[in-house]
Structures are given as structure tokens and as C-alpha cells.
Amino acid sequence: MQGFGVDIGGSGIKGGLVDLEEGRLVGERVRIDTPQPARPEPVFDVVTEIVRSFDWTGRVGVTFPGVMKKGVAHTAANVDPSWIGTDVDAGLSGLIPGTVETLNDADAAGIAEMRFGAGRDRDGVVLMLTFGTGIGSALFVDGRLVPNTEFGHIQVDGEDGEHRAAASAREREDLSYPAWAKRVDRYLDVLEAGLWPDLIIVGGGVSRKAHKWVPLLSTRTPVVPALLQNTAGIVGAALAAAERPEAGHDPEPVGRT
Ligand code: BGC
């Protein structure tokens, strides 16, 4: 069975057909630069263009880098503030043929990792963290997502955690991997004071270089790199849309096969 996912990011909007049983893209993904300023209408137009280029008419899963509740964006830490209060589901549903399911970007990546990647068959409390422009989080309890956790914004030494420990901080401040790993370690230290996960999965582009920083961490929780890399958001969004429960039915835990 196939699905369709679109990943809205600060610099690019990516979409593609997804094989829902295998958890991988079918053919190439399409990427279009995020229009600047990244306000809702121009972004909706790009999402529409991507979906239409595949002649896809089924359900579409769409990720957004902020809190998403019932299709409405509630925060926009790293994107244009005009998103706050925007009904993304309704806006996109008016433009593309299929129904739209929007969800937080890290939640989507986590859903994919739990089903097909580093969290596969893992019970207990699993935390996925994505290190990019910000820090995204997705928390799973026995395979079931607790949506919209925002652990990138915990206070660490008086600052927003993601401000010092996101991958963007490493680039902005030209930090070596060991120097940045210290920041991540401190961030995780504070996080672990309030949460006792059984596993932490680290994703985002920087997880490709996991060997340079993950071994330097001193967390009590085992930390493993994500396996799906840059397709996780698209795959997770497509899964979430395809498996959206009908009214009156309980959703299945996503981490189980
Ligand atoms: C946002 C999260 C998002 C994360 C990664 C954070 O700044 O608040 O909602 O998941 O960035 O994009």
C-alpha cells in the first residue's frame, strides 16, 4: 500500500510517495525551496504543487515544525509567526484533492523510526530527538506517541535548550563536534532530571555524523542514531495520514508491526 507525505522545513519542502509496508520512498522525492518569508499561503502553494506533480488524490500527511493540534498550528519557533492560529488542515484541504493530516515534524520522524528504524519493536519509554535548526522531540510509551512534546524548549542554564544545543548552534558558532557534544550532554542532563526514558534516538542531519559526538555523551540512557535519515518526516507523515483513526476507533500503537 502506498501513502504520501510532505515535510515542511525552514529551507525546503519535500514530498514523495511512500511504501507504507517497507517504510521507504517509492521513486524520487521532490524538493522545492521554502518560499521566504515562509508564510502559510505561499507554503500551501508549494505543498499543493508537490502533491499535484504526483497526481496523488489520497490522504496526505504533512509535517510542520511547531505544535499541531487538530490541524491548527499553535507555535512557530523557527518559522514565520503568522502560522500561529492557522488551520493548516483546512487551508490545504481546500487546495488538494485528498484529506490532509498535519502533525509536528519530530512526531512524524519518531513515528517512522518506531515503525521502521532504531525504535522498532522497542517497548517502554522511547524518546526521539531531532537536531536541526531547533530540537524536536517525540515521546513514545510502549509504541504509542505522546504528541507535541516540546523538549527543545526546556530551560538549560537559563536559556532555551535548543538555542545552545541544536545542530544550528554548532554551525552558527563554528563549534567542533566535541565542543558541541558538551552542549548536547548538558542539555540531556537537564532533560534526564525530569524524564527517565529507556532509549533516546537522535535524528536530524547531524545523526549521519553520530560517531563524532554520540560516544562523547555521558547520559544514563542509551543513545542510538536514527536509521531513516532524511526520509523519516515524509514516511512518518504518510503513515500518520494513512492510519488516522476513524471516529470512534482507538489508534494502534505505531511502534509495532
Ligand atoms: C519547535 C518544534 C519542532 C522543532 C524541530 C522547535 O523549535 O518548537 O515544534 O519540532 O523545532 O523542528
Nearest to 83, CA basis, from 61, 68, 93, 96:
68
pLDDT at residue 202 greater than cutoff 80: yes
Domain residues of the chain, as ranges? 2-105+231-242, 108-227
pLDDT for residue 253: 52
Ligand 1 centre to CA of 9 (Å) is: 10
Pocket test for ligand 1, best of 150, 153, 163 (most atoms within 8 A of CB): 150
Mean pLDDT over 226-230 rounds to 91
Ligand 1 within 6 A of 78 CB? yes
Ligand 1 centre to CA of 250 (Å) is: 27
Q: What is the pTM of this model?
A: 0.95
Mean pLDDT over 140-151 rounds to 98
- Percent of the chain at pLDDT > 70 equals 95
pLDDT for residue 102: 97
Ligand 1 within 6 A of 138 CB? no
CATH of domain 108-227: 3.30.420.40
Alpha helical stretches, state H, the chain: 40-53, 88-93, 105-116, 161-165, 167-172, 177-194, 232-242
Ligand 1 within 6 A of 106 CB? yes
Judge whether 156 and 187 are in contact, CB under 8 Å: yes
- Say which residue, 78 or 128, is predicted with more confidence: 128
- Say which residue, 11 or 142, is predicted with more confidence: 142
- Region of 23 (left: φ > 0; alpha: ψ -120 to 50; beta: rest) is left
Task: Give CA–CA dist 166/213, Å, rounded.
Answer: 13
pLDDT at residue 114 greater than cutoff 80: yes
Q: Distance of CA 228 to CAs 48, 203, 236, Å? A: 25, 8, 10
Ligand 1 within 6 A of 77 CB? yes
Ligand 1 centre to CA of 248 (Å) is: 30
Ligand 1 within 6 A of 236 CB? no
**Number of alpha carbons in the 13 Å side-chain half-sphere of residue 46:** 22
pLDDT at residue 247 greater than cutoff 60: no
Domains 2-105+231-242 and 108-227 share a fold: yes
Which amino acid appears at position 165 of this protein? A
Please determine, looking at this structure, whether the domain spanning 2-105+231-242 carries the CATH number 3.40.50.720: no
Residue whose CA is at the smallest distance from ligand 1 atom 1: 66
Alpha-carbon torsion (103, 104, 105, 111), positive or negative = negative
- Reported as a single tens digit per residue, the pLDDT across 69-113 is 999 999 999 899 999 999 999 999 999 999 999 999 999 999 999
**Number of alpha carbons in the 13 Å side-chain half-sphere of residue 248:** 0
Give CA 93 to chain center in angstroms. Answer: 21
Ligand 1 within 6 A of 152 CB? yes
pLDDT for residue 244: 86
Mean of all residue pLDDT scores within the chain: 95
Mean pLDDT over 9-16 rounds to 95
Alpha-carbon torsion (202, 206, 211, 215), positive or negative = negative
Ligand 1 within 6 A of 134 CB? yes
Return the number of other C-beta atoms located less than 10 Å from residue 202's C-beta.
Answer: 23
pLDDT at residue 54 greater than cutoff 80: yes
Task: Give CA–CA dist 14/238, Å, rounded.
Answer: 12
pLDDT for residue 9: 93
Per-residue pLDDT band at 37 (split at 50, 70, 90): very high
If you search the block for the grid coordinates 541544536, which residue do you land on?
A: 166
Residue whose CA is at the smallest distance from ligand 1 atom 6: 134
